[in-house]
Amino acid sequence: MNATATPATPNEKDRVVIFDTTLRDGEQSPGASMTLEEKLNVAELLDTMGVDIIEAGFPIASNGDFEAVCEIAKVTKNAVVAGLARAIPGDIDRAGDAVRHARRGRIHTFVSTSPIHLQFQMNKTEEQVLEIIRTTVARARNLIDDVEWSAMDATRTPIDYLCRCVEAAIRAGATTINLPDTVGYAVPEEYRAMFEQVRARVPDADKAIFSVHCHDDLGLAVANSLAGVAGGARQVECTINGLGERAGNAALEEVVMAMRTRSDVLPFACNVDPVHLTRASKLVAAVSSFDVQYNKAIVGKNAFAHESGIHQDGMLKNASTYEIMRPEDVGVKATSLVMGKHSGRHAFKDKLAELGYVIGDNAFEEAFRRFKDLADRKKHVYDEDIEALVSDEMATGGE
């Protein structure tokens, strides 16, 4: 394996469609709501990045959401713009009204299929839900050609009933079938098996694109999404920074970079240009006011930072020793070697050279000793601290 390997070019059938739901499921995180202008900025960047489908909102939820979906639909140049709708005629018509402004619009309608949801949330029988699927998907399909149907809580739905629901949705005209892990309950092997079984058992399954939609309650959202793709799904629903309900959704940047970095075992391609990932992460963090954790994969502040002496030494010899991706590929200027108590002589010498100091061996040893003392006492050692201690050392006679 090589960090700078060019990704393999998979066949067209191995292309994975990226469906971003930052503006819908992401915005459902308590406290993450965005203004119209903020949503337009995010949508514009998603479109520029090469996201295939932007779920712009839930038009029936509020007039603001309706307006956001309409405005995003009007200005989006490349991506399909989707609006979410419950399996209720009024929801579907409202979503249809919003996405009709798009060059390419989609109605995404969903209904719960698991026994827990049928009993406690919907108070409906399996047969009643099947009828709801038939009528609501057909209603959406009368309004638009591109209809996605989701089986909410699919991963806690018995497989026989799930297959009947999927069959009904495809017969009624759904072109994308999404099988969400709504409560983040699945593990990768079973999520993959669910797609394999449904695709094998449902007649005309190949008429629809299957989609993954994973929540991160057990920290498995990205692993589950990739497992679903291995099971035959060709659409991944995800959000920037993994923003989303509870523990969040699968993070778009992780899905994209996993497929790109491990194309040897995940031979799937997508349209997203990863160079925009860091900018997208910063924009979504700013508009949602959800900070990104420092150690977040791909876009965290420390994702390309190294402090330990062993790692810094390796990085100075060859970046692929401790980095499996190039920072510039995701829009980060460069790797940073952070000076701290774990740093070694190699990195310290490099830092001095970067700051313009060339000092003799004795002075270097003394400066290094004082740097370690300082780093033991201080959480962050800045360039200014190092300059101060080297200048001191030179002033007190070190050469």
Residues within the interface to ligand KIV (CB under 6 A): 25, 110, 150, 152, 178, 180, 182, 213, 215
Min. distance of Cβ 83 from ligand KIV in angstroms? 12
Binding site partner of 27, from Zn ion, ligand KIV, none, Cβ cut-off 5-8 A by kind: none
Binding site partner of 152, from Zn ion, ligand KIV, none, Cβ cut-off 5-8 A by kind: ligand KIV
C-alpha distance from residue 161 to each of 78, 114, 129 (Å): 37, 9, 11
User: What H or E segment, with its residue span, contains residue 122?
Assistant: none
Binding site partner of 110, from Zn ion, ligand KIV, none, Cβ cut-off 5-8 A by kind: ligand KIV
Which span (3-11, 25-33, 256-264, 338-346) binds Zn ion, by CB under 5 A? 25-33
Q: Is 65 annotated as a binding residue?
A: no
Which span (21-29, 302-310, 356-364, 386-394) binds Zn ion, by CB under 5 A? 21-29
The reply to whether 181 sits near Zn ion by the rule CB under 5 A is no
Q: Is 249 annotated as a binding residue?
A: yes
Which span (3-11, 17-25, 48-56, 318-326) binds Zn ion, by CB under 5 A? 17-25
C-alpha atoms less than 13 angstroms from C-alpha of 116 in its C-beta half-sphere: 8
Q: Measured from the CB atom, is 250 or 347 closer to Zn ion?
A: 250
Q: Measured from the CB atom, is 237 or 253 closer to Zn ion?
A: 237
Min. distance of Cβ 151 from ligand KIV in angstroms? 8
DSSP codes joined into one string, 288-332: HT-PPPTT-TTTSTTTTEE-SHHHHHHHHH-GGGT-SS-GGGGT-
Q: Measured from the CB atom, is 105 or 180 closer to ligand KIV?
A: 180
d(CA 38, CA 75): 14
Residue 225 and residue 214 in contact, taking contact as beta carbons nearer than 8 Å: yes
Min. distance of Cβ 221 from ligand KIV in angstroms? 10
Dihedrals phi, psi of 306, to nearest 5 degrees: -135, 135
d(CA 79, CA 50): 8
Min. distance of Cβ 40 from Zn ion in angstroms? 23
Q: Is 215 annotated as a binding residue?
A: yes
Q: Measured from the CB atom, is 25 or 167 closer to ligand KIV?
A: 25
Both tokens of residue 136?
Answer: 């609501």
d(CA 289, CA 301): 16
Min. distance of Cβ 197 from ligand KIV in angstroms? 19
Min. distance of Cβ 209 from ligand KIV in angstroms? 15
DSSP codes joined into one string, 136-165: HHHHHHHH-S-EEEEEETGGGS-HHHHHHH
What lies within 8 Å, CB to CB, of 263 at 6+ separation is 5, 7, 8, 10, 269
- Please tell me the count of residues contacting Zn ion according to CB under 5 A: 1
Partners of 236 in beta bridges: 18, 212
Binding site partner of 357, from ligand KIV, Zn ion, none, Cβ cut-off 5-8 A by kind: none
Residue 374 and residue 390 in contact, taking contact as beta carbons nearer than 8 Å: no
Helix 383-395 crosses helix 345-355 at what angle (to 10 degrees)? 90
Which span (24-32, 126-134, 140-148, 320-328) binds Zn ion, by CB under 5 A? 24-32
Q: Measured from the CB atom, is 25 or 167 closer to Zn ion?
A: 25
d(CA 375, CA 370): 9
The reply to whether 25 sits near Zn ion by the rule CB under 5 A is yes
Min. distance of Cβ 98 from Zn ion in angstroms? 19
Residue positions forming the annotated binding site? 25, 213, 215, 249
Binding site for Zn ion (CB under 5 A): 25
Residue positions forming the annotated binding site for Mn(2+)? 25, 213, 215, 249
